[in-house]
Structure 1
Amino acid sequence: MSFTLYGAAGSGSVPVEAAMTLIGLNYKVIEAVTWEGEAERDKVALANPMRQIPALILPGGETLTESAAILIWLADAYPEARVGPRLDDPRRAQFLRWMTFIPAAIYSMFWVRDEPSRLGGDDAAVQEQIKQRTAERIAACWRIMDSQITPGHFLLGDELSVLDLYVTTASRWTPRRARFQVEAPRMAEVVRRVDALPALQDFWAARFPFGPDDAV
């Protein structure tokens, strides 16, 4: 079986790719850097009319979109990989809570940040204000999540889940890891562990190389 994923390095497809790598699935990536213009967004149009990544084509031809939905589906579809709590697991409620919190409260801000003219028009000062305010909103959401979650070795306890992959990726976006460390110190300890997972070292190097601003 083979999967096809529309994605891009450093994007919301990265946690999906990381999950499929850990599970051991056969997949290929169609690179579509959608924030770089209409031509890149058009690459995704047949798979996702929103022209957004990630979009995952299952072996049977069905399409899944939305990073959280894909990650939850992967965890449920491959329970033997143990990358997410099952329905009867007491951690399941908090798993679902935070898997939906990230796209609803944090990821959604980047639709505005990528092109602030979408809401702010052509006024450069307004666009800059939008960037500053969305960065503050993202930081505040990380702070709230950190205050509500009780990590173990990983975010939900001692076992890695796709939530860890999601947070590890998203925490490297604006306002970046230095601010994430300040706002979410307990989660920062976890993402350091995920950064260092031996099974993902080659993957991180290829799909989201670490820069000087990524250390926490």
Structure 2
Amino acid sequence: MSAEYVVHGAAGSGSVPVEATLTLLGLPYRVVENAPWASRAAADAVGQVNRLRQVPAVILPGGELMTESAAILIHLADRHPQGRLAPAPDAPARAQFLRWMSYLPAQIYSMFWVRDEPSRLAADAAAEKVILERTAQRIADCWRMMDEQVAPGDYILGDALSVLDLYVAVMSRWTPRRKVFYQAAPKLTAVVRRVDADPRLAEFWARRMPFEGAWEG
């Protein structure tokens, strides 16, 4: 039994929105740094916690394991409602919150299991190139479809920051990166830039996912 959250993750990865959420909530946590795509040893280390060898994997203070970034984010927001990082279960915005929190991993995040190692599905190098091109296009198309169906205020669901905004801010940095995202999702662009500039996360972003250089594309 521990008082802290233990986050198995890596800088720039899907653990970052979880870490950002814990930071905003002021909850004690530590990161076990392992990027499973970087080496066999790192993948094996993550595999000791999550058999899928994927991050994030979080050990809750009670010792229970949670995986799947969207589930972790929803759990944290709901478990700590004082942080106001998700609409309440009976709030009008709750349905759309759940919709987009499910959409992101199902339609976009899932593409990166393929992109990180296209040889998993490709027969040869030529096929790998096609997979990378088509998954990048698919990701851009999904951002475009989301953008067409939201009506943001300062943030995606209105005037309050939620874990959905943190999730999008991080994922939009991944390939095909922000320049493509800005073109595909003009309404979401102002939202992610606002999240980037949140002073409460300035030190965190600088340490875990610096918003400069290659992240823009």
TM-score normalised by length of structure 2: 0.97
Report the 3-state secondary structure (helix = DSSP H, G, I; strand = E; otherwise coil) of the residue aligned with 1:150. coil
2:16 maps to 14
1:178 maps to 179
Deviation at 1:111, TM superposition (A): 0.3
Return the letter of the residue paired with 2:117. E
1:135 maps to 136
Report the 3-state secondary structure (helix = DSSP H, G, I; strand = E; otherwise coil) of the residue aligned with 1:157. coil
Report the 3-state secondary structure (helix = DSSP H, G, I; strand = E; otherwise coil) of the residue aligned with 2:30. strand
Given the alignment, which residue of 101, 107, 114 partners 1:99?
101
1:81 maps to 83
Q: Confirm or deny: 8 A CA contact 2:58 2:67 kept in the other structure.
A: yes
2:197 maps to 196
Matches within 5 A, 1:23-102: 23-102=25-104
Distance across 1 between alignment mates of 2:215 and 2:118? 24
Distance across 1 between alignment mates of 2:61 and 2:102? 25
Q: Confirm or deny: 8 A CA contact 1:177 1:213 kept in the other structure.
A: no
Distance across 1 between alignment mates of 2:199 and 2:176? 27
User: Which deviations, in whole Å up to 9, do the C-alpha atoms of 1:168-198 show, x marking residues without a partner?
Assistant: 0000000000000000000011000000000
User: Which deviations, in whole Å up to 9, do the C-alpha atoms of 1:107-163 show, x marking residues without a partner?
Assistant: 000000000000003x11111110000000000000000001110000100000000
Report the 3-state secondary structure (helix = DSSP H, G, I; strand = E; otherwise coil) of the residue aligned with 2:37. helix
Return the letter of the residue paired with 1:77. R
- Structure 1 unmatched runs, 5+: none
Deviation at 1:213, TM superposition (A): 4.4
Distance across 2 between alignment mates of 1:215 and 1:104? 23
Bigger drift between 65-74 and 36-45 goes to 36-45
Report the 3-state secondary structure (helix = DSSP H, G, I; strand = E; otherwise coil) of the residue aligned with 1:84. coil
Question: Is structure 2 residue 213 aligned with structure 1 residue 212?
Answer: yes
% identity of equivalent residues = 60
Distance across 1 between alignment mates of 2:106 and 2:216? 26
State the superposition RMSD in angstroms.
1.1
TM-score normalised by length of structure 1: 0.97
- Structure 2 unmatched runs, 5+: none
What is the number of equivalent residue pairs in this alignment? 215
